Structure 1
Amino acid sequence: MDELDSVIIRELQLNARQTNRELARTVGIAPSTCLERVRSLVERGVIRGYHADVDPAALDRRVEAFVSARLRPLSRSVIDAFKKALIALPEVSAVFVVAGDDDFLIQVSARDLDHLHDFLIDRLSQRREVVSFRSQIIYESSRKHVMEDLSEK
């Protein structure tokens, strides 16, 4: 990663829909150079993809929560199977394996509190490996969409 790569990443985080020609103009390089730099960033795994940021409420998912879960037995195969099963559920937007008292932090969204409760009781608590869980309702959230390169600071 050099300074030019960092500038390209910043610009793409601000607007990933811009054309290569627009990006090259903004960054101040030739379109062919810009295209090669972006391809390299993708190949190296720096850029993992492009996506739309969708408001859950627009999809009739007005309740969001974080759910902490503890699993037993704790093994790589149990962790991997649990992650795979959770991420396939429509209510789950993100799954994090964490350190501390809990093993997982799960971000979920549901139509309302009743549907969140149904998810917790009918889907999460029914899994044999889950020994305990607790939920925290999210009232409001803010998300940072531009990640800075810390090596520059």
Structure 2
Amino acid sequence: MIERPATPARRGAVPIDDIDRVLLDHLARDGRMTNNALAAAAGIAPSTCLGRVRALVERGVIRGIHADIDPAALGRGLQAMIAVRLHGNSRGHLAEFGRELAALPEVLDVYLIAGADDFLIQVATSNTDELRDFVLTRLNERTAVASTETILIFEHIRPNAS
């Protein structure tokens, strides 16, 4: 996985040109595309392509390139989105709470959201018993948690999937 260097959170658009857009479009569809194939698709030299991709990573445009692993293949075929609302006095610790959620093995993604709830988390478990236990013990037993709402995922359709 390619990770960008630790930098302060970036807010707002980063200037990119048409060649960057071609590179990003191809990488979004196939993160395993070779540098030579990516360069050919963009009409630039492989060395130029490598430099541009590195610059996109350094500037925070590319946040990472990773494998999209099917949780069902790992025996965790039941997925859910769980909305989590914290007590008002716990909202000063949102970042810490989000990091704690992200560290849990069942958690696939954590979103800090606006609205009535504070977080939306995507989880994968092997069955409904594990999902229930996760919600009851890993979430609802935390003193910071005011409420949760669990929504089962029947199918995840990823855009730009190839």
TM-score (norm 2): 0.85
- State the partner residue of 1:112: 127
- Structure 2 CA distance, aligned partners of 1:129 and 1:12? 39
Give the 5 Å matches for 1:12-23.
12-23=27-38
The alignment-based identity, stated in percent, is 48
Measure, in 1, the Cα distance between the counterparts of 2:33 and 2:129: 41
Cα distance between partner residues in 1 of 2:130 and 2:114:
28
Q: Please give the TM-score of this superposition, normalised by the length of structure 1.
A: 0.89
Long gaps (5+) in structure 1: 147-153
2:44 is aligned to 29
Pick aligned residue for 1:87 from 90, 102, 105: 102
- Measured on the aligned residues, the alpha-carbon RMSD in Å equals 1.3
Runs of 4+ with deviation above 6 angstroms: none
1:136 equivalent among 130, 133, 151: 151
1:127 aligns with 2:142: yes
Given candidates 53, 57, 69, the residue that maps to 1:38 is: 53
| Rounded Cα–Cα distance in structure 2 between residues aligned with 1:41 and 1:82 | 29
Paired residue secondary structure (1:75): helix
Q: Give, in whole Å, the separation in 2 of the partners of 1:64 and 1:20.
A: 34
Q: 2-side partners of 1:140 and 1:3: how far apart?
A: 34
1:47-92 CA distance string (max 9 Å, x none): 111100111100111111111111011433x212211111000011
Tell me how far 1:18 sits from its aligned partner. Answer: 2.2
The farther-off stretch of 56-65 and 24-33 is 24-33
Report the AA paired with residue 98 of structure 1: I
Q: Which residue matches 1:149?
A: none
- What residue number does 1:75 align with? 91
Query: Which residue does 2:19 correspond to in 1?
Result: 4
Q: What does residue 13 of structure 2 align with?
A: none
CA distance in 1, matches of 2:46, 2:77: 42
Q: How many pairs align?
A: 145
Aligned with 1:55 (options 60, 64, 70)? 70
Q: CA deviation at 1:122?
A: 1.2
SS in 2 for 1:102: coil
